[in-house]
Structure 1
Amino acid sequence: MGGPLGVAVRVRFAPSPTGFLHLGGLRTALYNYLFAKQHQGRFILRVEDTDQNRVVPGAAEGIEGMLEWAGIPPDESPRQGGPVGPYQQSQRLSLYRKATDMLLEKGAAYRCFCTPQRLELLRKEALRSQQTPRYDNRCRHLSTRQVAEKVSQGAEHVVRFCLEEGSEPFCDLIYGWSRHEVASVEGDPVILKSDGFPTYHLANVVDDHLMGISHVLRGAEWLVSTSKHLLLYKAFGWDPPRFGHLPLLLNKDGSKLSKRQGHVFVEQFAQDGCLPEALLDLITDCGSGFAEKRMGRTLKELTAEFDVGRVERHSALLDLEKLPEFNRIHLAQQIGEEKQRRVLVAEVQALVEQVYGDRLEDSGVAEKGYVEQVLLLRKGHISRLKDLVMPKYAFLWIRPSVPREELQTVSAQAEEIGRLVLGLLERQAAAWTAEELGRDLRQLQEQIKGTQYSSMMKLLRLALSGQQQGPSVAEMMVSLGPREAGTRIQRALCS
């Protein structure tokens, strides 16, 4: 069972398909992806679905879909295929059986016939004695004849690995030198269950070897198990990969990210209109692995700047309240790039059609040029594209219906204000700014006796948007353009 691949950098993300991909899993996947791409290596997705009782239908496909949404698609996976498939552990059972037979032949593993009832009694007795529950390795001492007799009788059994005393230290890429004397605190672990499915300890060792994995970057919760896994590598006679254990990703208050919290699932962020680049930037910014902290890193920059040696040992505190600001920065970057902006224009057009539909009238508000102008004007002011179809920005897409009588209740000089503003709009160039227009509107108001500036702004806002609140009147006019702004004011005065 030799590894089929060479020594090139190959890393893997190996989630269990028990639900949606959460932020902690996304960060683990991202760090693996960055490490692989930095070394011109391969990023592999392997689905560890050996615990069939916890498998959620569709979860594996959903996880891979979210990696693709995030812009970090695997090079090899259940969907992509590859040279060392299958990439789903439930389809690799014959390989684990073969590996188990190797250990049985070497005397490094044995069949255990202890019943669940006996194991439960051992556990209760240990707790009663205030000791850590552990298996007493009873079946390790069965003779060959006793084992053969039980097998011939069809006795149900598992296979356990013989833990050796004196595990060797290993140098973790993040935590440095480490060693755990597992044999002194644990009983021999089960590596193959009675149903023929392997446990994590066997499956991940066999698969990492057969898939040619060079570096294992996984959660810090597996650090104490690494000595056990190294004993398995030694028993097989295989060279182990390098290990690096990533600290936990925690809430801002230091509490654990819980899968019960809906806001930790990547799918939810995608549905809410979050940019994948912003989410990746946030989960790396709150942790470590980079020489400096700064907002706005693209995936290309994350890849170039990532240094696994800079990943710190303490847990990373995730402040999701910062996400809108990260999203605003990345959205502004994308609006500023012509190629990306074309993609955004199409997305906004789809959103506008979805939200406003036949209320758009025939005003050209869904045309590419107008939408692109809106994006450029709102650049730096919005955090999500979805913000543009919120009620406060409805004026961008639909013409309000405001009767003249309503305008006159705001100001008795409604017609004079309208006449002067229409004249101003006719003289304005297309390249006006909100600051310039705001100054001109202030000067215009000074020409109208008996009209306060606030009343004039309220009247114009009503005519332009039909709303009492929203962006400044100058911003509205600049966003709409002089022609459309004038059409709306004239329409309100004549209605």
Structure 2
Amino acid sequence: MRLFWLRALRSAAPPRTRCCSGGTQGEVRLRFAPSPTGFLHLGGLRTALYNYLFVKKHGGSFILRLEDTDRSRLVPGAADSIEDMLEWAGIPPDESPRKGGLFGPYEQSKRLPFYQDAVQTLLENGAAYHCFCTPQRLELLKKEALRNRETPRYDNRCRHLTTKQIDEKLSKKLPYVVRLRLLEGPQSFKDLVFGWNHHNVASVEGDPVILKGDGFPTYHLANVVDDHMMAVSHVLRGEEWLVSTAKHLLLYRALNWQPPLYAHLPLLLNKDGSKLSKRQGDIFIQYFANSGYLPEALLDVITHCGSGFLGHQMGRTLTELLEQFDLERIISHSALIDLDSLLDFNRIHLARRIYGTETRREMVKQLQTLLQEKYKDVTFNQDYIERILMLRKGHLCKLTDLLSPDYSYLWIRPSVHREELHKLTSEVAEIGSLVVRLLQDSHNEISAEMLNKELRNHLQQLKDTKYSVSMKLLRKIISGLESGPSVAEMLLSLGPQESIARIQNALSS
């Protein structure tokens, strides 16, 4: 009955007609299929993005499927986090464990009947067989191979068992796995990135396990069955799976199914050429989200280092990435990511958000919430916050920079004692009065450059105080800081009313 259900569901899937260019006429369906044995990282996000862009370019469906059959290595919370991070990045799936869809379930652990039916078909047509070798024997084979400086491989012992021998072992309920019978000779296929590939898997490997002793499938079987049943038209995945494609094509042949088109993406590496490691705490998307980075900056930096787009441009939006993306532009060379430049990417995209009317409103509300959490007894005016964002756009790398001690003067008045000021100069009152009059006479449209020029003209008239000392004094009064933005920028940020109030308070304290 299960086999009938499987075939009926598959027959209901829409037909696909392939184009010679690698596109499709009809529905294009691609899947991103991570394992929730860890959280989404940069390499995974890049793979998901390329799948998403290809799908949207061709008006198809983007599928999130969780390959969770390795039950011993599952990380609590990882499954939900993966989908959360795709949504945060602005590339949400059309079908997923959370959203559902016509081809579900979208978690492999809930699809065991499908794999068991496929295995039964493979056993019946002789493409697979029961293997009763114990873990102890397999370990001995491995040690013997290593001792002889050979690559460990299964010796295919059980593929020669007779039907009678197999039935006897099954009647005794001996534990077993199911292995795929590899065919001799190279399996050839044309990858849409790497071109023609020829892998003779049987010459270097023993027959692989496709169904484990616990009844769960291995990756090779599960992804083939699921891609077929979910009507996946193209598979875009990492280069590390290129060699395994030969096994997958053997499975498709043994099951008499049409395989999808394959495109393997070159590896994403650190800028020194080393592999991205999950031990690096700063490669997980959750880290970047929690650290104040914008999703569009992250998408920009991971595509800037690779291929598939027009040149190496900074500041591309998701819309621009979609317009430029072309599978034929992807080259097979590994991509080197420079995370040291991520702050520059974030600065560009943050400035763009601040410049946009709608996105600026969102930034204002977000910053107001953050400020309220940090300074609980202070009320923050949205117009003032918006003015600060407009003045500092292009300077801020992250919105959270405005919560740092360097910008605390924008939100709370510093505590300044008159004695500290008089240690700098005896002309404190004269300097303060000059600047107050200047601010009272200045107009609303004055720029930092113009204000800085006016300050210099007025303060250079003092007899006993150097201009640099005057600036140091004013910075102390306004912000309580020894260094930071120019005094003119500080005065403009605070506005004339607040600046005058701080100067007068310092003079009277």
Instruction: Identify whether the pair has TM-score above 0.5, normalized to the shorter chain.
Output: yes
The 5-angstrom pairing of residues 190-269 of structure 1 reads 190-269=209-288
TM-fit CA distance, 1:401 = 2.1
SS in 2 for 1:260: coil
Q: Secondary structure at the match of 2:423?
A: helix
Which piece of structure 1 moves more, 454-463 or 166-175? Answer: 166-175
Aligned to 2:3: none
Q: Which moved more, 1:400-409 or 1:203-212?
A: 400-409
Residue range with higher mean Cα deviation, 378-387 or 311-320: 311-320
Instruction: Tell me the equivalent position of 1:90.
Output: 109
Residue in structure 1 matched with residue 474 of structure 2 by the alignment: 460
Whole-angstrom CA distance in 1 between matches of 2:319 and 2:410: 34
| Distance of 1:489 and 1:179 partners within structure 2 | 77
Task: Give the corresponding residue for 1:309.
Answer: 328
What is the deviation of 1:377?
Answer: 0.2
2:33 aligned with 1:14: yes
| Secondary structure of the structure 2 residue equivalent to 1:229 | helix
Aligned counterpart, 2:144: 125
Residue 22 of structure 2: aligned partner: none
Cα offset, 1:41, TM superposition: 1.1
Q: Deviations over 1:220-262 (max 9, x none)?
A: 1110010110010011111100111111111111111111111
Contact 1:217–1:245 (CA under 8 A) maintained in structure 2: yes
- Residue 280 of structure 1 corresponds to 299
Contact 1:407-1:459 at 8 Å conserved across structures? yes
What SS does structure 1 have at the residue aligned with 2:62?
strand
Separation in structure 1 between the aligned mates of residue 348 and residue 39 of structure 2, nearest angstrom: 27
Aligned partners of 1:33, 1:315: CA distance in 2, in Å?
A: 20
1:57-96 to 2 correspondences below 5 Å:
57-96=76-115
Partner secondary structure for residue 38 of structure 2: coil
**1:479 pairs with 2:498:** no
Q: CA deviation at 1:404?
A: 2.4
Q: 1:370 aligns with which of 380, 384, 389?
A: 384
TM-score, with structure 1 as normaliser = 0.97
Contact 1:43/1:74 (CA < 8 Å) preserved in 2? yes
2:408 matches 1:400: no
Which SS does the other structure have where 1:471 is aligned?
A: coil
* Structure-1 residue corresponding to 2:370: 351
Q: Does 1:105 align with 2:113?
A: no
The equivalent of 1:5 in structure 2 is 13
State the Cα distance separating 1:274 from its structure 2 match: 0.5
> Which residue in the other structure is 1:442 paired with?
456
Distance in 2 separating the partners of 1:201 and 1:335: 47
Contact preservation (8 Å) 2:434, 2:459: no
Aligned to 2:434: 420
Q: Distance in 1 between matches of 2:28 and 2:490?
A: 54
In the alignment, the residues of structure 2 paired with residue 461 and residue 28 of structure 1 have an alpha-carbon distance, to the nearest angstrom, of: 49
Q: Which residue is equivalent to 1:183?
A: 202
List aligned pairs for 1:311-350, cutoff 5 A: 311-350=330-369
Distance 1:5 1:451 in 2: 83
Matches of 2:298 and 2:119, distance apart in 1: 42
Residues 392 and 471, structure 1, Cα contact 8 Å, conserved in 2 = no
Distance across 1 between alignment mates of 2:310 and 2:418: 61
CA–CA distance in structure 1, aligned partners of residues 427 and 65 of structure 2 = 71
User: What is the alpha-carbon distance in structure 2 between the residues aligned to residue 353 and residue 432 of structure 1?
Assistant: 30
Once the two structures are superposed, residues 48-89 of structure 1 have per-residue CA deviations (whole angstroms, 9 ceiling, x without a partner) of: 111111111111111111111111111111111111111111
CA distances 1:397-455 after superposition (whole Å, capped 9, x unpaired): 00112122322222211111111111110111222211000000000112222111111
Distance 1:460 1:491 in 2: 13
TM-score (norm 2): 0.94
Asked whether the equivalents of residues 188 and 198 of structure 2 are also in contact (C-alpha less than 8 Å), the reply is yes
- Give the aligned partner of residue 19 of structure 2: none
| 1:489 shift after superposition | 0.7
Looking at structure 2, the residues matched to 56 and 333 of structure 1 have their Cα atoms a distance apart, in angstroms, of 37
- Following TM superposition, by how much is the alpha carbon of 1:181 offset from its aligned partner in structure 2, in angstroms? 0.7
Q: Does 1:152 align with 2:171?
A: yes
% identity of equivalent residues: 62
**Unpaired runs of 5+ in structure 1?**
none
CA contact (8 A) 1:464 1:489 kept: yes
Aligned pair partner of 2:189 in 166, 170, 194: 170
Query: How many Å separate the matches in 2 of 1:65 and 1:83?
Result: 21
Structure 1 residue runs of 4 or more that deviate by more than 4 Å after TM superposition = none
- Aligned AA (1:475): E
Code of the residue aligned with 1:97 in structure 2: it is Q
2:61 aligns with: 42
Report the AA paired with residue 393 of structure 2.
K
Q: Distance in 1 between matches of 2:337 and 2:311?
A: 17
Give the alignment's Cα RMSD to 1 decimal. 1.2
Q: Which amino acid aligns with 1:447?
A: Q
Residue in structure 2 matched with residue 114 of structure 1 by the alignment: 133
| 1:10–1:213 contact (8 Å) kept in structure 2 | yes
Q: Secondary structure at the match of 2:101?
A: coil
Whether 2:398 is the aligned partner of 1:384: answer yes
